[in-house]
Amino acid sequence: VSRTFLYDAAQAPLLARLRGLADKQPSTGRPALPDQQRITTRSHETVVRALRDANRKLHEENERLRNELAVALGRLRDLRRGIPVE
């Protein structure tokens, strides 16, 4: 669209609408969602809690797997050295 077209007095409503949409757009560069599609604070908190819980479970599983690996590597070391496995 040319500037001449946009700044023509007949296009003032269109230019005002475009400016309004640009003002609503967040600074992230992503388009703003309509109010009906935005996540509520309560929903956001629920999502955050669920993600934190999942993260905690994964952390616990990683810790368990690290311990299992340490035991297995210790047994392998003992076998290579000829030490009987318990």
**In the chain, where are the structural domains located?**
40-85
The span from the CA of 32 to the CA of 35, in Å, is 9
pLDDT at position 67? 98
Using one digit for the tens of pLDDT, what is the confidence trace for 2-48? 777 767 888 888 888 888 877 776 666 666 677 777 788 888 899 99
DSSP class of residue 82 equals T
Residue 71 pLDDT > 80, yes or no? yes
The span from the CA of 66 to the CA of 86, in Å, is 20
Residue with tokens 């297995």: 72
